[in-house]
Amino acid sequence: MAHKLKVATKGEAADPVLTRAVEEDKVSWYKKPNLRTLYFLLFPTCIGIEITSGFDSQMINAVQIVEPWQEYMGNPEGAKQGIISAAYALGAICSLPFVPWVAQRFGRRWSIFGGSCIMCCGAIVQCASQHVAMYIVARWILGFGIPACIVSASALLGELGYPKERPVLTSLFNSCYFIGSIVAAGITFGTMSLGASDWAWRIPSILQCVPSLMQISLIFFIPESPRWLVSKDRREEAFDILVKYHAEGDRQSPFVAAEFAQIESTIKIELESAKLSWGDIVRTAGMRKRLLVGSLLGLFTQWSGNTLLSYYLGDILTMIGFTDSNFQAKINVGKTSWELVNATIIALIVTRFPRRKMYLLSASLLMVVYTCWTVAWARVEITGSQAAARAVLFFVFFYSPCYNIAYNALTYSLDSVGWKYLIAYSCWLLFEVICIYFLWPETQGRTLEELTFLFEDKELQERQSMATEKQLFGGDAASVGGHGNKDGTEERYEIAGSKL
């Protein structure tokens, strides 16, 4: 069946050509056998990597409620408690300089395999810990392994996924964090029945390697990134992967030809830019803005109050009067289950809303949540009000949907500052709202390659767009859309036999 695709005029050459082509595809992914198989394999190998991350964040929160862990580790508090929580992040920071090199040198799959092996080692050391120092080292090892997996898995999702489903895939990637959280909370709650046995915390520790073992076992059942293959001059392999999964085996698909051309042209332009020095990262206005927005996004993702609930929920509940460990464990399980539900719902509807507006809404709601939470917690400490304590619980639960709308680490001892700690987060969130409003670009309705030069001048965008149009419509890309329309209006072309 022929499909009509709107073609940009010369003055609109930087339009998202491939995205407009994808919008014409009305066939659902589950009706495409090859793509369906790919997605089922991507869940345990890539999307499921966030299960590991969620498992760790929840486990370190949950084991602090377990009395045998507290006794074995000497009831850590203050700086010691902070370093136990921060060791995972410190390990991740130490590995970051190596992650891009490994992913580009060996490919996405080997990067995931290596990171998963490191995390398995960390889980074994964590289970066998004989003292606090060994436990901290184990958490550092776990943290060292996770960035390679997260970076390469998120890249694979974007590079293997069909453009229409990419936003949902990457959002589900983040929501899987809460599957790991629920599993960790449930396991730890169950092992509390072991009483005073050290296995109440050693069992959750060793089970942390299960998701990593799943990735080690299955990662080579999925194809390598076509984008990485093109960058290594393995063009035929890359084209075959795109044909199999994005055109269901149709080697004459104009969409795959255009997608392949877009990848090639983007990588060519990137390689030209790669010849520049590190100083060129701040040479142009586009590069400076890209660096600023990318840095702030990473900062906002970790400093929006999520770490407080991930690592210190037990302390918060104790401070507002809920001291029973059994009750705390139930709240923990309930909170993580609620997080999974709202994160998944948001992931499934994410494509319907502009990204920039979602970030603004999220940051604004988080600021309101933390402001109200601060007031409620202050009332608990000042008056001992049970109603205020229940209000704190409400905001603990209300926080997650507000955060998950957009972002899907501060470490400190809460003992000395209590509710005043939240004031810093409230002020920081106001800063986030201001930055997002003035700096964030809109990314809705663009493929990965179309986003590559979002911050650059129009010339690079037009070069990429013209190469894509040339493959999609044939002939001279520079003349696409120019037939007889002197007024600059758009024409519509038919692509006979298109599988779009």
pLDDT band at 36 (very low <50, low <70, confident <90, very high): very high
- Is 407 in a helix, a strand, or coil? coil
Given a cut of 80, whether residue 253 has pLDDT beyond it is yes
Tell which of 196, 222, 248 closes a domain.
222
d(CA 238, CA 245): 11
User: Which range is least confidently modeled, 38-47, 73-82, 302-311, 456-465?
Assistant: 456-465
Asked whether residue 361 is assigned to any structural domain, the reply reads yes
Inter-residue contact 153 to 112 (CB < 8 Å): yes
pLDDT above 90 coverage of the chain, percent: 29
Note whether 62 and 187 are same-domain residues. yes
Asked whether residue 140 is assigned to any structural domain, the reply reads yes
If one counts the domains in the chain, the total is 2
Asked whether residue 130 is assigned to any structural domain, the reply reads yes
* pLDDT score at 269: 73
Inter-residue contact 480 to 254 (CB < 8 Å): no
pLDDT band at 277 (very low <50, low <70, confident <90, very high): low
What is the pTM for the complete model shown?
Answer: 0.69
Note whether 60 and 136 are same-domain residues. yes
Note whether 415 and 329 are same-domain residues. yes
Note whether 214 and 82 are same-domain residues. yes
Asked whether residue 18 is assigned to any structural domain, the reply reads no
Asked whether residue 259 is assigned to any structural domain, the reply reads no
Note whether 123 and 215 are same-domain residues. yes
Given a cut of 70, whether residue 443 has pLDDT beyond it is no
* pLDDT score at 461: 60
Tell which of 169, 203, 222 closes a domain.
222
Q: Which residue has the higher pLDDT, 114 or 483?
A: 114
Average pLDDT, the chain: 79
Asked whether residue 251 is assigned to any structural domain, the reply reads no
Tell which of 445, 470, 487 closes a domain.
445
Asked whether residue 492 is assigned to any structural domain, the reply reads no
Note whether 51 and 198 are same-domain residues. yes
Note whether 215 and 287 are same-domain residues. no
Inter-residue contact 319 to 373 (CB < 8 Å): no
Domain extent at residue 401: 283-445
**Region 381-386: what's the mean pLDDT?**
90
Two structure tokens written together for 372: 């109200």
Note whether 291 and 200 are same-domain residues. no
Given a cut of 70, whether residue 467 has pLDDT beyond it is no
- Is 82 in a helix, a strand, or coil? helix
Given a cut of 60, whether residue 227 has pLDDT beyond it is yes
Could you report the per-residue pLDDT of 174-213, keeping only the tens digit for each?
Answer: 778 888 888 888 898 888 888 889 999 999 999 999 989 9
Assign residue 379 the CATH number of its domain: 1.20.1250.20
Note whether 170 and 304 are same-domain residues. no
Given a cut of 90, whether residue 387 has pLDDT beyond it is yes
Note whether 210 and 295 are same-domain residues. no
Inter-residue contact 339 to 181 (CB < 8 Å): yes
Asked whether residue 438 is assigned to any structural domain, the reply reads yes
